[in-house]
Chain A
């Protein structure tokens, strides 16, 4: 089946620094990828839709200048959390559309200290 690889699986960074999370579709091409955020004991909340070769579409309340998304190829989308703060600590998950539906990455646990 379709596989989406997400890296890193966890990261700890200092407040004020930036962190990049990668999402790769390994055996299929993904023109559309989605980025979700999940806080403890809550459901997944869509942050943005990443479209290959064009600007991402952000959900209401998500700062596009803080959460930079790049989808430069059909197999790679990146999410960069800029100037991270402790309140950005969360579980970030990417998803890609494949022929059958949607495949999710394993998630990235971000802790900002």
Chain B
């Protein structure tokens, strides 16, 4: 799977948008960008995924650059409960049986 690079940590003020970047310059044409988050001492939670078009759901928006070498996860109105480690993972789509490989992720701290 393509390697991803994320900042180690970020802070965000409560109520503001949190923009989490991810670089994946070696992504292949058939690989999707997945985002998960892990709140302390819990299992990872799926957030969103996309191939090349921007995606939005009730949790977040995913912006993928035209060359697909980077993406940004946007939490439009961060709350204290969004404090977590956010993982950007690049891998083939859900049809693949391969596991998710986790990098170091970004520790997002939402400040009151």
**Residues of A that sit less than 8 Å from B by CB:** 4, 6, 32, 34, 36, 43-46, 49, 91, 93, 95, 97, 99-107, 109
Give the distance in Å from the alpha carbon of A95 to the alpha carbon of B41 in the complex: 15
Interface of B, secondary structure class, is loop
Whether B99 and A49, one on each chain, are in contact in the complex, defined by CB atoms closer than 8 angstroms, is yes
List B contacts of A99 (CB < 8 A): 94
Q: Which residues of B contact A (CB under 8 A)?
A: 34, 36, 38, 41-46, 49, 87, 94, 97, 99-105
* Given A43-B104, A46-B101, A101:B41 Cβ within 8 A: no
The answer to whether A91 touches B41, judged by C-beta atoms less than 8 angstroms apart, is yes
Whether A101 contacts B94 by the Cβ 8 Å rule is: yes
Q: A43-B103, A43-B104, A49-B99 are in contact. Are A104 and B94 (CB under 8 A)?
A: no
Of the candidates A36, A103, A109, the one whose C-beta lies within 8 Å of that of B41 is A109
